[in-house]
Chains A and B, each alone.
Chain A
Amino acid sequence: MSALQDTGTNKPANILVVDDDLIIRSLLKRVLSKAGFNVFLAENGKVAIDEHLSEEIGAVLLDLQMPVMGGMECLRYINKHYPDLAPIMLTANEEVTNAVEAMKYGAFDYVIKPFKSKQLVALAQRAFQTYTQTKRLRKVEAELIDARENEIFIASKIQRSLLLGRPPEDIKGLKINALTIPSQKVDGDFIDFFKLDDHTVDVVVADVMGKGLLSAFFGAAMKSHFLRALHELTIDAVECGMIDDQCMLQEDSFHLPQPQDIITRVQARMIRNLEELESFVTLCYARFDMVQQTICFVDCGHVRTIHYKAASGEVDLLQGINMPLGFPEIDPFIQFSVPFKEGDLFFFYSDGLTENRNPANEMYDEDRLVNFIKLHGYLEPEIIIESAYAEMVAFADSKTFDDDFTCVAVKIDQKQAYTQLNAQAILEIKSDLKELARVRFFIRKFCENVPDSLLEPKRIDMLEVAVTEVATNIIRHAYAGRTDEVIQIKAQMAEDKIILLFYDWGPQGFDPQSVPPLQNISKMAIKDLPEGGMGCYIIAQSVDEVEYSRNQKGKNCTSLKIILAPETND
């Protein structure tokens, strides 16, 4: 007969015979060898354990009654250390009860002495096959678990590196820090940041119902929907002509898609998927506008964002009125706008924090979190996040949480606040001299954004005169006194300058050459004093640069540039 083999590993079929009777050992060695087994012999349980038992043994014949260590004791050892190995018990007639007992401890079967060799060999072969099959099954199981773990690991890696947004570091005046810890290997919370321009950033904190892979993939889908909505709404705005391609500045925050429109579009795109999967998403979509110094947010059933106010040390809770995404919402999404000041902090989070439980099964709850932020709101974002995590660990008395744990801290940075000089504003007036006061009010308001150190009040006074002169020239000369034409004024502020653009569509525009240059009037005879013509001189003296231009479409532009004096005592 050919040698028996483990068909999975092609290893020889090793069998261990444990019996104190030398004759039986010899007999069994002969018949089993003949059947193709590789036979090992031991005279008692102890020798078997000490010298022969290993992963290589595929079957055991075990006598019940032996000196030093009997069959039952040895069986228990095998059952504990080699659970896949099921010995065949050899027993005398009077020990049958013990043999039945042995079956409970994992024996494969029992054979009563004296036995027929053929019967025993057949049994040994079955025991060996069962052993190799069990082993193979275990191996496949382990491989399956490995494979699944590996996939989750990859999913988690993809999520961390590609899906969960990193806070931008280059928004002047803003410091952002974020932390998200999945309760399973993959996170059902979703955070992202969209930097729309140098002074505008959108923060999204969302919680997809459920945990693990499904919610992670939902996060992925959501991210792409947000990006698409942002892109499409921007394109719509350009096509509608809301953004003037000729003079669009990067600082133009007026025509950015509004948070409520973004959410409306994302909801429209995702509602069917959410319904099919019977899932929903709570979220807070917040826009930080460093020019307007406001946060504009849409809240969809998410936990309330905490606003720490540095000036008073008090906190407010930002709450919207919208239902979570995935609910059949009929009402339009509503956004709210809240002003902020230097030193303020916004703390976004998921319910993993407020619903964190301690060993007594109490929830951490919103009140505790609000008090925590009230006490720590003055700290830097990364320290607040670290402390919040430490607080949660201490409360739960555990480093792992039942739910996904996410928080984002956004701080309005005191040190950088004064450089937040990116702004744009637009005013449209009729070509009527009665509108001059509005032009001055507009410019004065606009200049309120600039600290006195960069633009002295006296220069603002002069600027008011200059814009009055420019507008007067356009009304009187470019529009020849017609009062129903339009003048558009764009005020733009960058780091170190203010640019004021006056657009008109008069047939000729205002030609500064048409006005005689003004001499020093104090040296003129009073009878020669001009009653007009001082305007251009005043404009030139009040600003750093003046430029007149006219494009092919007949749009005239008067451009004034004011250089902001650099701060000397930084």
Chain B
Amino acid sequence: MELSTEQIDDILVIALKAEILDASNSKKFRAQMTSLLEESQKVVFDMNQIKFIDSSGCGTLLSCLRQLNGNGGDLKLSGVQKPVRTLFELVRMHRIIEIYDQKDDAVCSFQ
């Protein structure tokens, strides 16, 4: 998946440049993340472009969260679209990962 990263102080903002995060691309995405997340503790995924996510996508996000938690870090999400949010609510993801409408809000929450 194409990604763009932005470092704001000690916070790493990763924008997901794809429309879907499902079984077809979540494994690759997870592999891309492993090294990126090793260096950081405070990470924001900007999900603005993601229109669809499935259980594999959710699992991948949880896996990323677990990796960061393991290093004493945290993962926050921003720009979550409506259909994605609907699924998050169904599986209660929104209670485990903090979700913000705007990227800046997510960044601020770390500061």
Contact = CB atoms under 8 A, between A and B. Distances in A.
Interface of A: 433-434, 436-437, 440, 458, 461-462, 464-465, 468-469, 472, 475-476, 520-522, 526-527, 529-535, 537-538, 541-542
A526 B24 CA distance: 25
Contact of A526 (B20, B69, B90): B69
A41 to B, nearest CB: 115
Nearest to A434: B24
B66 A468 contact: no
Contacts of A464: 52, 83
B24 A436 contact: yes
Interface string B58-95: 11101101100100000000000011001100111101
B54 to A, nearest CB: 4
Contact of A530 (B52, B59, B65, B69): B59
Interface size class of B (residues with CB under 8 A): 20 to 34
A468 B25 CA distance: 13
Interface string B13-39: 000000010111000000000000000
Given A526-B69, A529-B62, A542-B90, 15 more contacts: A436-B22, A436-B24, A461-B87, A464-B52, A464-B83, A472-B22, A472-B23, A522-B96, A526-B62, A526-B66, A530-B59, A531-B59, A531-B62, A538-B54, A538-B87
A20 to B, nearest CB: 119
B22 A521 contact: no
Contacts of B62: 526, 529-531
A440 B96 CA distance: 27
Interface of B, helix, strand, loop or mixed by DSSP: helix
17 contacts: A434-B24, A437-B24, A440-B52, A461-B83, A464-B52, A464-B83, A468-B23, A472-B22, A472-B55, A476-B23, A522-B92, A531-B62, A533-B55, A535-B54, A537-B91, A538-B54, A541-B90
Nearest to A476: B23
Contact of B59 (A461, A468, A534): A534
A535 B55 CA distance: 5
B59 A532 contact: yes
B48 interface: no
Given A530-B59, A531-B63, A534-B59, A521 B52 contact: no
Contacts of A535: 54-56
A521 B60 contact: no
Nearest to B19: A437
A232 B16 CA distance: 57
B27 to A, nearest CB: 9
A532 B96 contact: no
B76 to A, nearest CB: 14
A526 B54 contact: no
Closest CB pairs A-B (n = 5) = A531-B59, A522-B92, A534-B55, A522-B95, A433-B24
Q: Which of A440, A465, A529, A532 has the most CB of B within 10 A?
A: A465
Contact of B54 (A472, A520, A521, A541): A472
Contact of A469 (B55, B66, B86, B95): B55
Contacts of B93: 521
